[in-house]
Amino acid sequence: MNPTPLFLPCAAGVEPLLADEVRRILSEVAPRAAESLHLGRGGVRLVGSLNTAMRLNLESRLASRVLWQVAAGGYRDERDLYDLATGVDWPAWIMPHQTIRVDTTATRSPLQSLHFASLRIKDAVCDVMRAENGQRPDVDPRHPHVALVLHLTEDRAALYVDTSGEALFKRGWREAKGEAPLKETLAAAMLAAAGWQGREEDGPLLDPCCGAGTIAIEAAQITCGIAPGLNRSFAFEKLAPFRAEAVAWQQLKAEARERQHAPRVGVYAGDVSFRMTDFATRNAERAGVAHAIEFKTADALQRPAPAEHGILILNPPYGERIDAKGTGSAPRTYDPEHDFDDEGPAPRGARSDAGAREGFEDGGSPTAFFNALSAHWKRQYSGWTAWVLSPDAKLPQAMRLKESRRIPMFNGSIDCRLFRFDLVAGSNRKPAEDGSVARRGDEDTDR
Ligand SMILES: C[S@@+](CC[C@H](N)C(=O)[O-])C[C@H]1O[C@@H](n2cnc3c(N)ncnc32)[C@H](O)[C@@H]1O
């Protein structure tokens, strides 16, 4: 099968990071595909072969899918969509006993019903298949063998076969989730935005509020050279055109395994809840990186820096979704099932950091938590860079820190910012790489 247009959707705002990643994956092995790459809205486009599609499924951390275009053209109504889809050689893709599903996405489409658009595509596929084989595929909305994606703009339609199946953020290692886990693709986007590639020069990494461990596990796989898709299967493995590529697919996976190596830098993670560090440890075991992460059940408001410098990267507890805990919270009843620290069971809310405790009698409000966190970082993490994902645009004020970067990112449908804070002690304020100067807020209590 000839190279064809591929579309790799991703979360809004992540497109440039995905473009860099795809270029990095392909520049040596498929330079023409890498050169054909274009930034699109909600993803990137390129022209690639079956091999390129398989490789991107295996290696991309930021794409949510790899879509293989089978038809594209102008349209005015559903009849045009039907005609477009009847032009595809469906028997080359679908066997009569296999099931299908059609999803439609649109930007400024004039059509009344996207559901009806999906139905017309399904009709076209079934009519072509019936004419060819006397049999039509069934629809399975949940686990189809072949998932089709129709994308409509104002006057253009593109029809794709989804080569990924389950969305790519499902890496195959997560069983224990916790309360508010990040998608793996978003954790990877945070790391990419921070420019952290797991090299020695990137320095060690700590997520002190790790929950189910998503950021640390992504980071550990990166620093060990582990491809994100090695633990899962993909829809293309059952698609007819890819079956001829079975040997090449095994080879791609074998090469990816050979590229794995010992961790190049330290990855540290922890959570105040023993239950969460236990979840995270089990997830790390399944992801093959338990050896590369040092987990600790610890209060982020007290945890000492594990190295002289490095990056802190986290999505801290916020709002109703998940409570801030630790010394910033009002003392609570001891829960023997969940409340342990490294030394064994201990009542949560035990206070040992006098400075961080000040002003917490309000019962652990987010403001008190972030105040205490920045006070702790200023004392113990000078020389580190912190990257914090938050839906609160006023987080820098709450932390009494001036951000040196603010990158828009979506956590699902939640509009967030990834803030960068350069943690410098006292007068040792240094300009950030982008030329801005990290300053403490005027009301900084830690001067
Ligand atoms: C939004 S969740 C992080 C989710 C995580 N990134 C993941 O993908 O699963 C915030 C986490 O912060 C933890 N947490 C709350 N207060 C803490 C504290 N004082 N120290 C350390 N962790 C804390 C919570 O237990 C929760 O697991």
Query: Could you give phi then psi for residue 349, rounded to 5 degrees?
Result: 95, -5
190 ligand 1 Cβ < 6 A: no
β-bridge mates for residue 416, sequence order = 409
Residue 323 pLDDT level (bands cut at 50, 70, 90): low
pLDDT at 360 over 70: no
Tell me, in angstroms, the distance from the centre of ligand 1 to residue 305's CA.
17
Closest CA to 323 of 272, 289, 361: 272
Q: What does the alpha-carbon distance between residue 98 and residue 195 come to, in Å, rounded to a whole number?
A: 43
Work out which ligand 1 atom sits closest to the CA atom of 318. Answer: 1
For residue 24, the model assigns a pLDDT of: 97
Mean pLDDT, residues 340-360: 28
Lowest mean pLDDT among 47-61, 105-119, 337-351: 337-351
Distance of CA 159 to the CA centre of its chain: 25
Residue 446 pLDDT level (bands cut at 50, 70, 90): very low
Tell me, in angstroms, the distance from the centre of ligand 1 to residue 147's CA.
36
Q: Is 338 helix (H, G, I), strand (E, B) or coil?
A: coil
Are 266 and 199 in contact, with CB atoms under 8 Å apart? Answer: no
β-bridge mates for residue 40, sequence order = 43
Distances (CA, A) of 148 to 260, 288, 350, 363, 367: 34, 33, 55, 51, 46
Are 173 and 84 in contact, with CB atoms under 8 Å apart? Answer: no
For residue 181, the model assigns a pLDDT of: 86
For residue 364, the model assigns a pLDDT of: 57
Instruction: Spell out the residues 6+ positions from residue 376 whose beta carbon is closer than 8 angstroms to its own.
Output: 300, 301, 302, 353, 355, 356
Residue 367 pLDDT level (bands cut at 50, 70, 90): confident
Mean pLDDT, residues 407-426: 90
β-bridge mates for residue 105, sequence order = 151
For residue 326, the model assigns a pLDDT of: 61
DSSP annotation string for 37-75: -EEETTEEEEEE-HHHHHHHHHH-SS-S--EEEEEEEE-
Please name the residue that has the structure tokens 């979704």: 321
418 ligand 1 Cβ < 6 A: no
324 ligand 1 Cβ < 6 A: yes
Mean pLDDT, residues 79-105: 96
Q: DSSP label at 177?
A: -
pLDDT at 227 over 70: yes
Tokens of 200: 């020695």
Work out which ligand 1 atom sits closest to the CA atom of 373. Answer: 19
For residue 257, the model assigns a pLDDT of: 98
21 ligand 1 Cβ < 6 A: no
Element of type H or E holding 138: strand 138-139
Mean pLDDT, residues 194-210: 98
Residue 441 pLDDT level (bands cut at 50, 70, 90): very low
182 ligand 1 Cβ < 6 A: yes
* Protein residue with least CA distance to atom 13, ligand 1: 209
For residues 158-187, one letter each, b for 16 or more C-beta atoms within 10 angstroms of the residue's C-beta and e for the rest, the string is bbbbbbbbbebbbbebbebebeebbbbbbb
* Protein residue with least CA distance to atom 7, ligand 1: 181
Helix (DSSP H) and strand (DSSP E) numbers for the chain: 13, 17
Alpha-carbon Rg for the chain in angstroms: 25
pLDDT at 427 over 60: no
Q: Is 341 helix (H, G, I), strand (E, B) or coil?
A: strand
Are 55 and 25 in contact, with CB atoms under 8 Å apart? Answer: yes
Q: Is 420 helix (H, G, I), strand (E, B) or coil?
A: strand
